[in-house]
Structures are given as structure tokens and as C-alpha cells.
């Protein structure tokens, strides 16, 4: 997992908008077009999280009432697969899983294909169109609450929401690689580390705020519009967020090199993206770091349930507090890297992050059951994750040829979504057979090996 060569940090370089060569978030935010991209990212990512919350909200408040609360064919099917849907919460969880699956399949299958088209089409148009189409798509959500026939024991509207989620996720696959490939076009190389730090901090902040505030905002909008005599106020939120994202991105001035009509097939262009990984060791190493990191984080999603269950004041349902604390740590780490990361080599930042993750996993295996220590260690683990993710993402942006960025980022999204999915199954199986402590130590061992492969003690 070798990354960029270890060398002395480069001095800050002056630019027309940054004459003194300053670094950090302030310098990045001085770039007007990056601000527009950043605002588009905020609204789009908040909308993505609000979307999931809205789907669960509709299942709970409307569809279960229409479908009889999990009786009939649904109950028989659940029994055949050994699933317990004896309570309303368990029914909601089962139905929400269908939404999650519909949201995940396009991310696992279409990422690389969407990346090829992101290279062929103008990135600004792709970003604007994907958000505008998502805004239009979610306008039809109220239609799926209309009474209708049951299918497999569920209202037809549930299957409509599943289908809408699948289409929404397809559009997201086109937005993501275009957004990531636009950053190095808008931001000079010397500011990419700070730009990616802000990007990661915003992503984590949107995740925390979106899931934490989604339901209260939906309920508030419902009651606010109901007070004015209008039903369905909760459906305003998603079109508003996606629409604001499209408006912000439409104002971008993105100077891209005109592309001639493609003369090769989509599959040949996917092969060209894979060739970048073969021929550019720094990109390949950074990609491996991201896959490893997201695999560890996905495993921790499962382990957080076990860790929370050992804390009497939390219980398994309080696992979200541990994940939120990891998110806070990641956001803090991103801000620190934005301000000071350019003073250190990428390899040392990565090795430090992997070493931090190793340290926290070992301590988590020893200090189970302590609320204060577990929360603190989750926060430190988030800082370690930032030290790995941000340098890796910056390296991929810098070292990937501009003409190949979309397909490389599409491939990256494919690999990351697989890395997020497989460990969810493996971690639960390993904990059931080995126990929590051995699994934590196993993950720590993987992180330690990756840190040692960086050879941070060497100078080049």
C-alpha cells in the first residue's frame, strides 16, 4: 500500500486569488466557484440523508396503516426466512431494509459505468441535471400514499417508493464522480488538501445533521403547513434541497477541455480507468487505503451495536451515539488537516492515521463497558480516519489524468460501496463465532500491517 513518496512539504504557492500563498480553509473559501460547488454539495448531501429519513417516516406514518401492519403474506414470508415481525418496530426495520437495498444496488453496480459518462459529458451539466431530476422525481412521492391493491402483503405504494429509491440512487451515481472530478478543476493543487478536508468535514456533518434532524424537520414542516390548511408539508423538503443544489451548481464556471466524440466503447473506457490504477502506484495505493478504511468503518458499524450493548447507560439502541462521536472526530480531523496538513508528507499522515486506528481498536477491546472511554476512543478513531481518507482522496485527484478522473472516481465509488457492504456481513458472523474482543484485535492487526507497509520512518 505504498502512497506518494515521502518528501519535504512544498511551500505555499501564490495564485491570482491567493497572492500571499496562504493555505487552509480560508484560502479555499476565497475561490468563488469552489464555494458554489461546496454549497451544492451541502444541499445535495443533506437531501440524500433526508430522503432515507422521509422513506422511513412514510412507512411508519402511512404505509403500515394502509397495509395492516405486517400481516398476511408478509408475515408468512418473514416466517419462511426465520424473521420476526411480531412488533411494529420490527416491521418498520424490515421494510426500511428494502429501501436501503434499493439505494445500495446502483451504488455497487453502476458506479464505474456512471464514471465513464461523467468523463464524456460536461461535469457541470451532469451535476445540475442529476439534482434537478432528483428534485422532480421526489415530487411524485405523495402519489404512492394513495390507496391501492396489495402486492406480497404490502401496499402498492411501498413498492413504488422502492422503485423511486432505485431511480434516485442511479442519478446519485452520476452526480458523485462528476462532483469529485470537478474539485481539482476548480482548486489549484496546493489547495487540494484543504478542499478535500472541507469536503470530508461537510460530508460527515451532513450525515450527522441529516439523520439527527431529518425527522424533527419533517414533522415541523408537516405541522407548519397543516396550520395553514395544507396537507403534506413534509414533501417540500427534498425538492427544496435538491433544487437549491441544482441552482448553486448551475452558477459554476467550470473550464473543461472540450472532448471529442468517443471512439471507444464504454467497456474499453472502464479498462482505461483500471489501467490508471496499474500504471500509477500512488493512485493505486491511495485507492487501497480508502478501501481498507471504509472496510474497517463498515465493520465498526456492526461492532458499535455490541459496544453499546456493554454500556448500561446506552444499550444496543444507543449505538448511534458512538457513530456520531466518530463523525465528530472525523470532522475535527478534517479541519485540522485543512489548516496544517500541508506541513507533513502524505505518507506520514496516512501512517499516523492507521496507527491511531490501531491504537483505538486495541484500547476499545480492553475498555469495553466504559461510556466515557468508549466515546473518547470513538472520537479519536474518527480523527485517525480523517488522516487516512483526506490524503488518499487528494492523491487520487492530483495524480489521475483529467480525462480519466470520472471513470477512476466511478471505480472508487464502486469499490468503496463494496467495502462498505461485505464487512457488514462478515463482522456480524465473526462476532457471533469469535466474540467482540478478538474481532477488534483482528481489525487492529490489519490497520497495523497497513501502517507498517507505509514505512514512515524512511526518507526519500
Domains of the chain, CATH where assigned? 31-187+214-263 (1.20.1250), 264-460 (1.20.1250.20)
Is the pTM above the cut of 0.85? no
Burial of residue 265, with CB atoms counted within 10 A of its CB: 0-12 exposed, 13-18 middle, 19 or more buried: exposed
Predicted confidence at residue 9, as pLDDT, reads 46
Residue 257: pLDDT band with limits 50, 70, 90 = low
Q: What is the pLDDT of residue 161?
A: 93
- Measured on CA atoms in the order 229, 234, 239, 244, is the torsion positive or negative? positive
* Cell representation of residue 6: 515521502
Whether 106 contacts 170, CB under 8 Å: yes
Q: Of 17-21, 45-49, 225-229, 360-364, which gets the smallest average pLDDT? A: 17-21
pLDDT at 98: 80
Dihedral over Cα of 36, 39, 41, 43: its sign: negative
pLDDT mean over 222-235 = 86
What gap in Å lies between CA 113 and CA 270, rounded to an integer?
7
- Say whether pLDDT at 169 is over 80: yes
DSSP at 229: T
Mean pLDDT of 23-39: 87
Residue 360: pLDDT band with limits 50, 70, 90: very high
Q: Cell numbers at residue 437, please?
A: 474482543
Residue 337, pLDDT > 60, answer yes
Q: Is the pLDDT higher at 390 or at 132?
A: 132
Could you tell me what percent of the chain has a pLDDT over 90? 19
Mean pLDDT, residues 42-66 taken together: 82
- Model confidence band, residue 439 (pLDDT cutoffs 50, 70, 90): confident
Amino acid at each position: 500500500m505504498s502512497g506518494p513518496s515521502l518528501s519535504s512539504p512544498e511551500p505555499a504557492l501564490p495564485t491570482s486569488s491567493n497572492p500571499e500563498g496562504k493555505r487552509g480553509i480560508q484560502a479555499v473559501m476565497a475561490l468563488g466557484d469552489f464555494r458554489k460547488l461546496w454549497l451544492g454539495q451541502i444541499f445535495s448531501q443533506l437531501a440524500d440523508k433526508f430522503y432515507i429519513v422521509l422513506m422511513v417516516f412514510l412507512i411508519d406514518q402511512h404505509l403500515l396503516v394502509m397495509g395492516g401492519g405486517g400481516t398476511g403474506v408478509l408475515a408468512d414470508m418473514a416466517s419462511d426466512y426465520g424473521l420476526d415481525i411480531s412488533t411494529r418496530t420490527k416491521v418498520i426495520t424490515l421494510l426500511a431494509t428494502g429501501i436501503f437495498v434499493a439505494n445500495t444496488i446502483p451504488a455497487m453496480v453502476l458506479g464505474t459505468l456512471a464514471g465513464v459518462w461523467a468523463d464524456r459529458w460536461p461535469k457541470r451539466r451532469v451535476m445540475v441535471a442529476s439534482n434537478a431530476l432528483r428534485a422532480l422525481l421526489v415530487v411524485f412521492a405523495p402519489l404512492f400514499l394513495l390507496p391501492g391493491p396489495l402486492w406480497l402483503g404490502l401496499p402498492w405504494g411501498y413498492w413504488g417508493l422502492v422503485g423511486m429509491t432505485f431511480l434516485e440512487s442511479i442519478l446519485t451515481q452520476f452526480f458523485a464522480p462528476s462532483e469529485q472530478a470537478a474539485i481539482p478543476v476548480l482548486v489549484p493543487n496546493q489547495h487540494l488538501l484543504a478542499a478535500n478536508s472541507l469536503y470530508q468535514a461537510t460530508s460527515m456533518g451532513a450525515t450527522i445533521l441529516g439523520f439527527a434532524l431529518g425527522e424533527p424537520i419533517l414533522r415541523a414542516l408537516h405541522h407548519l403547513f397543516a396550520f395553514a390548511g395544507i396537507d403534506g408539508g413534509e414533501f417540500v423538503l427534498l425538492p427544496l434541497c435538491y433544487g437549491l443544489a441544482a441552482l448553486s451548481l448551475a452558477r459554476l464556471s467550470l473550464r473543461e477541455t472540450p472532448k471529442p466524440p468517443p471512439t471507444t466503447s464504454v467497456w474499453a473506457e472502464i479498462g482505461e480507468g483500471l489501467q490508471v490504477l496499474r500504471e500509477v502506484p500512488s493512485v493505486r495505493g491511495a485507492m487501497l487505503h480508502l478501501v481498507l478504511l471504509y472496510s474497517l468503518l463498515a465493520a465498526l458499524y456492526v461492532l458499535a451495536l455490541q459496544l453499546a450493548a456493554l454500556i448500561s447507560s446506552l444499550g444496543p439502541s444507543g449505538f448511534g451515539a458512538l457513530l456520531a462521536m466518530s463523525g465528530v472526530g472525523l470532522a475535527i480531523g478534517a479541519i485540522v488537516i485543512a489548516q496544517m496538513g500541508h506541513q507533513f508528507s502524505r505518507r506520514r499522515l496516512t501512517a499516523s492515521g492507521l496507527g491511531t486506528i490501531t491504537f483505538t481498536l486495541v484500547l476499545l477491546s480492553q475498555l469495553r463497558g466504559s461510556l466515557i472511554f468508549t466515546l473518547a476512543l470513538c472520537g479519536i478513531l474518527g480523527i485517525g480516519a480523517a488522516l487516512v481518507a483526506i490524503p488518499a482522496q487528494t492523491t487520487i485527484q492530483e495524480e489521475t489524468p483529467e480525462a480519466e478522473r470520472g471513470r477512476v472516481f466511478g471505480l472508487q465509488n464502486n469499490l468503496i460501496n463494496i467495502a462498505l457492504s461485505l464487512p457488514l456481513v462478515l463482522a456480524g458472523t465473526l462476532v457471533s463465532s469469535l466474540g467482540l474482543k478478538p474481532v477488534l484485535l483482528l481489525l487492529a492487526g490489519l490497520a497495523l500491517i497497513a501502517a507498517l507497509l507505509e514505512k514512515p520512518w524512511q526518507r526519500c
